[in-house]
Amino acid sequence: MILTADLNQLDQEIERALITGNEDDLPILGYGEINPVLRWSSSEGLLAVKRLPIFDTNERLFRYQSQFDEFINALRVSQINVIESKLIVVNRDDGRFAAYCIQPALLSQVLLPEVIRLSDDNKRKEIFTALSKMIVAAINDQVGLDAQISNWGLGESGLVYLDVTTPMLRDESGNDRLDTDLFVASFPAVTRPMIRTFLLKRILNPYFSRRASVLDLIGNLYKENLEAAIPLAIETFNHQLTLNITSNEVKNYYRHDARFWGFGQWTRRLDRYWQRHIRRRPYPFLLPGRVPR
């Protein structure tokens, strides 16, 4: 895996990009809703690297590391094939910690959106059936799963799950164990109390519901320009899980989701402009590019 010295170099490159406001030279591999994924070469091949929000205390970092490992283990116990994932920490000069999730970078042709794009209906049905089994296996009251297709690859042994940086864990009372301040850290400070109070449960709840998880998965086929696969996806998931999902329900769910995340990205870009051009100070987060919806 990647050497700590190499990761220190990458961390310095990111900090330079944030200070100068020029992120064009960063090796972007792909984008999520919250963070971009960076490409990094090592002696063991090409790696996918995601930097988490900065941790201000060692205790907070340790708690996250424990939940990160626990979440991956919970998925694997459920027979989810989680890609090899490692958390590496860079100690910063200011006493804080930068944590990076390191994974092997998959070729674009084995990422599930591209696999579905190039597959016939028989293969697509096989994939949707396999996803339905993963959703049933993984999701319960205490373990959630963001099952949308961009979070999967397809290897020789079947589906491979990629998105592990948000440990979807709850206690027996249904309280999120995730450090939710990390989840909302990149949103403008003025919006964080509202997100914590009114929106956070609404954001996280679908990942603990099989039905909502399927709605999110199918709806995001719109985002991946795979609208033609939606009728078959609805048919397959309804048959496998007896959900009675309709095409209008999927469309409405996706429209609401797209509006929420689109507004969230707009507020973050506005905050970045405010910090850099009005307050004349670095904006501390890497933002994804404009996400087509």
pLDDT digits (tens, 9 = 90+) for 29-69: 877 667 778 888 876 678 999 988 889 999 999 999 999 99
Answer whether residue 63 is part of any domain. Answer: yes
Q: How high is the pLDDT of residue 4?
A: 67
Q: What is the domain range of residue 248? A: 4-278
* Alpha-carbon separation of residue 192 from 130, 169, 286 (angstroms): 37, 21, 18
Q: What is the pLDDT of residues 80-108, one digit of tens each?
A: 999 999 999 988 888 899 999 999 999 89
Answer whether residue 289 is part of any domain. Answer: no
Taking the model in full, what pTM does it have? 0.89
| CATH number for 186 | 1.10.510
Answer whether residue 144 is part of any domain. Answer: yes
Answer whether residue 17 is part of any domain. Answer: yes
Low-confidence stretches of the chain (pLDDT beneath 50): none
Crossing angle (nearest 10°) for helices 230-241 and 210-223: 170
Q: CA 104, 157, 152, 163 torsion: positive or negative? A: negative
Q: How high is the pLDDT of residue 55?
A: 92
Answer whether residue 291 is part of any domain. Answer: no
Answer whether residue 288 is part of any domain. Answer: no
Answer whether residue 287 is part of any domain. Answer: no
Q: How high is the pLDDT of residue 173?
A: 93
Answer whether residue 258 is part of any domain. Answer: yes
Q: How high is the pLDDT of residue 134?
A: 96
| Domain count for the chain | 1
Q: How high is the pLDDT of residue 2?
A: 55
